[in-house]
Structure 1
Amino acid sequence: MMETSLMGNKTGTCDSILDAIGNTPMVRLPRDFDPEIKCEVLLKLDYMNPGGSMKDRIALHMVRQAEKRGELKPGGRIVECSSGNTGAGLCIVAAALGYDITIVIPDKMSSEKISALRALGADVVVTPCNVDIEDPMHYTKVAGRIADETPGSWWPDQYHNSDNTDAHYYTTGPEIWEQAGGKIDYFVAGAGTGGTISGIARYLKEQDPNITIVGVDPPGSILAHFWKTGEICESGPYAVEGVGEEEVPRAWDPSVIDDYKVIADSDSFAMARKLASSTGMFPGGSGGMNMAAVLEVARGLPADARVVTLLPDYGKAYLSKVYSVDWLRDCGYLPQVPAATATVADLVHENNRARVYDDETLAWAIRQAGERGVRPLAIIARDGEGLLGILDEDKAIGVLSQGSDLEMLKAGDFVTTSPAVLELDQPWKDAVDALASHEAVLVKMEDGGFATFSRQDLMQGLKRLSH
């Protein structure tokens, strides 16, 4: 048991990053967020933990308990399977306490999460997400195997670790109860490992048994179905990260849950974006899922009722997914465009553009082509004459190979003939025809710049059309 019910030291100077975990703020939802909502809605911003998610709490508690039991010793290695957030929390704890760490993560998780794990010092193993839970390449199986084969290692196994649940019973639950002034009618939260909702619900129900606990699940997860029927159904795909499961985790206690909502990925992402743009609260997709379920609950409640939920992780970890219009369109989470009226503008990706003038350095041009992947890269005349051509990559590679000072060379001296150039208002089939003879073409944008449009972009973009 933890020595105190609350974590964190937010009023003074922390001696360690670990002291900054917990005591996250609770914010009241603006009354005008949804005109149909009459009751009060409170959101606990647990993405304001140091690692950007509520999983910092369980990372610290699981490690400390493992140390007490002698399962994790000085010089040891932490090995865990994670959708990214627990991994980041464990990385922070490992760095602060001097442990090595390996994180196994499925490849459906955002590139931001994977990059963050590496930045925090983890050895990262990426596994395929579209495998059965019994497959030896499933990320839980890979983590267990690495732990078994690594001397001095410790596997938290968060999905089946009671310390996961206890972390929220001893910290998050008491914080919520105190911040809400002891008045809560509904608590709404999603479940992945199940530790969050189970630990918080257990604590809250001990304070007031009349509190209604509502779980939230994405379609494709088995948890809501199991809670309702006691039967394990076949799992399916879903895109929201950090919630949902394909097996029943032992950290999850369905007996403390009173109701379950299932929220579609598209609704979760739309709600996350709405929260960010209209309130300044910046959640990931799971926070959007929680909030969408909250609105379903709250629309039938009187003005004196109070609903509490969590925003578990930070939206900055999902800029390439939840907060990318291109990704949402390509994955079908935004309405499709009728093929009969679609144009090139409906297929082009916003991030595939760059503006490089002929008098800018070759170093700058190569950064746009290399680091950002804008290829072919249009070179534009500064004097207003428009497109000169594209970066001559063969010539640029030649001077790179010679060790030339790229800051002393001008992009305008490294130009070759441009492939076809399309206008935004051309029929989309013109792009298909143009790419029949080119790997990529250019698209002239409204601001006078140019975007690149490749065969890969076309294959992604065509999914945006309805026939």
Structure 2
Amino acid sequence: MWYNNILETIGNTPLVKLNTITKNVPGTILAKIETTNPGNSIKDRMAIKMIDDAEKSGKLKPGGTIIEGTSGNTGMGLAMAAIVKGYKCIFTTTDKQSKEKVDALRAFGAEVIVCPTNVEPEDPRSYYSVSSRLEREVPNSWKPNQYDNLANSQAHYEQTGPEIWEQTEGKITHLVVGVGTGGTISGTGKYLKEKNPNIQIWGIDTYGSVFKKYKETGIFDKDEIYPYITEGIGEDFLPANVNFDVIDLFEKVTDKDAALMTRDIARKEGIFVGNSAGAAIGGLIQLKDKLKPEDVVVVIFHDHGSRYMGKMYNEDWLRERGFLQDEKLTAKSILAKKETTEIVTLDATKSVLEAINTIKSMNISQIPVTQQGMIVGKIAESDILSALLENPGLKSAAISEIMTATFPFVDLNTSIDKISSLINKENSAVLVEDESGKIEIITQYDIINAISG
């Protein structure tokens, strides 16, 4: 048996029992692995449904251009369908989305416009507004508008809900879903509640989003809105696809917990997933006291970990945000193990001869060069030798004439791996500003000493 095109492979994703990461959560915890869709995310389902409906209604005409605001995954589904069906694609996205998502969309031939995250939805620079403007300006174009297009929810009512019901043989008691556009949770939840009204539908939200407070109070609180890192869930407005009547409760998960849990899913279950899966499992663990041993919980794993290699799966990215603490040696811990010595520097106006004498007397090979107290370069034995072989008269010249680029600067959270990669033939050290603002130097010897110590 074969499929006529890649779109026919969408759906029928596996349900997999989690065994380690949720071992302290009562009940049977099952993950719906949506990464097996051809675009590696659950958004393939609703992308094709929105296109099919638009073709039937005449909104999307042959040779047309699909224009959408997307965090990446919906765009992937739309781009894939556009290739098979002969459409062009222009996508707007935000600058908080991972580079991998943007690169993937461009790999499918789509044009991608990156817009600022930290603006109101109504702001003309927002990715919502830019996509709406383009729809008005580009001839024969159509905007799916995944947030308010109810074909989004309908796709999950028709596909995801029935699949989960059949795969659990109707035993499901709880559905846990990260909520962004609201299509997945609302469509799947509606179908499941029609089958059994006692099934609990839990939405996972993030700090900086309006969903939880709105569900609990009916108040849309703009003071709740602020930028956050977690991708794919939470919003600063109320999409039409979020059916608050279907969702029983919302639970908020911090950026840090979502990011670290995403990594744990890969490390503890061998399932390589994206940021919203980490948020969903984080939320489930926070809600574990509401569960009983006989419960059957299904958690949606929306997308694939390969889209987050520069973020949640990058230790330096995590350290820069304070999400990882000293799991590995960092600049801070290397400095703590280092003997306190005053960093030797030379002013740029000093002569090459003075540099030679300093290098000899201090038994060092490279010295940072300063100008008005700021480090502006470095001078090394090899630089001096090369310069003097070319022109012996340079002994009396200022070292600014032969100095080279300064040592790389790193921050206190930079990992030992990153520091080691910066130390090479050109740079025998890196510079770091300590907590008091004092400049310190880390050499290869300091790294070896920290490891062996």
Gaps of 5+ in 2: 338-380, 387-401, 438-453
CA distance in 2 between partners of 1:115 and 1:428 (Å): 31
Is residue 18 of structure 2 the alignment partner of residue 29 of structure 1?
A: yes
Distance apart, 1:443 and its partner CA? 5.2
Report % sequence identity: 40
Amino acid at match of 2:60: L
Match of 1:360? none
* Structure number with bigger Rg: 2
Describe the superposition over 1:201-240 as per-residue Cα deviations: whole angstroms up to 9, x where unpaired. 0000011000011111000010111111111112111111
Alignment partner of 2:164 out of 167, 176, 189: 176
Are the equivalent residues in 1 in contact too, given 2:186–2:242 (CA < 8 A)?
Answer: yes
Amino acid at match of 2:100: E
Are the equivalent residues in 2 in contact too, given 1:283–1:314 (CA < 8 A)?
Answer: yes
CA distance in 2 between partners of 1:449 and 1:54 (Å): 47
Are the equivalent residues in 2 in contact too, given 1:422–1:444 (CA < 8 A)?
Answer: no
Match of 2:34? 46
Alignment partner of 1:250 out of 220, 236, 240: 240
- Residue correspondence of structure 1 range 117-266 to structure 2 within 5 A: 117-234=105-222, 235-266=225-256
CA distance in 2 between partners of 1:298 and 1:127 (Å): 38
CA distance in 1 between partners of 2:297 and 2:403 (Å): 62
Match of 1:303? 293
Cα distance change, pair 343–62 in 1 and its aligned pair in 2 (3 A): same
Describe the superposition over 1:354-384 as per-residue Cα deviations: whole angstroms up to 9, x where unpaired. xxxxxxxxxxxxxxxxxxxxxxxxxxxxxxx
Alignment partner of 1:271 out of 232, 236, 261: 261
Alignment partner of 1:312 out of 295, 302, 317: 302
Match of 1:17? 6
SS in 2 for 1:114: helix
Match of 1:412? none
Distance apart, 1:417 and its partner CA? 8.1
Are the equivalent residues in 2 in contact too, given 1:39–1:298 (CA < 8 A)?
Answer: no
Moved more, 197-206 or 334-343: 334-343
CA distance in 1 between partners of 2:200 and 2:269 (Å): 26
Amino acid at match of 2:28: E
Match of 1:357? none
SS in 1 for 2:159: helix
SS in 2 for 1:74: coil
Cα distance change, pair 201–423 in 1 and its aligned pair in 2 (3 A): closer
Are the equivalent residues in 2 in contact too, given 1:164–1:251 (CA < 8 A)?
Answer: yes
CA distance in 2 between partners of 1:258 and 1:336 (Å): 39
Are the equivalent residues in 1 in contact too, given 2:96–2:117 (CA < 8 A)?
Answer: yes
Match of 2:102? 114
SS in 2 for 1:101: strand
Are the equivalent residues in 2 in contact too, given 1:344–1:423 (CA < 8 A)?
Answer: no
Cα distance change, pair 452–190 in 1 and its aligned pair in 2 (3 A): farther
Cα distance change, pair 339–69 in 1 and its aligned pair in 2 (3 A): closer
Amino acid at match of 2:11: G
Cα distance change, pair 100–13 in 1 and its aligned pair in 2 (3 A): same
Distance apart, 1:164 and its partner CA? 0.6
SS in 1 for 2:265: helix
Are the equivalent residues in 1 in contact too, given 2:16–2:32 (CA < 8 A)?
Answer: yes
Match of 1:71? 59
Match of 1:81? 69
Cα distance change, pair 111–388 in 1 and its aligned pair in 2 (3 A): farther
Distance apart, 1:189 and its partner CA? 0.6
Is residue 273 of structure 2 the alignment partner of residue 283 of structure 1?
A: yes
Structure 1 runs, 4 residues or longer, greater than 4 Å off: 336-342, 416-424, 442-455
Describe the superposition over 1:237-293 as per-residue Cα deviations: whole angstroms up to 9, x where unpaired. 111111110000001100001111111111111111111011111111101001111
Would you say how many aligned residue pairs link Structure 1 and Structure 2? 369
- Residue correspondence of structure 1 range 354-365 to structure 2 within 5 A: none
Question: Structure 2 length normalisation: TM-score?
Answer: 0.75
Cα distance change, pair 453–139 in 1 and its aligned pair in 2 (3 A): farther
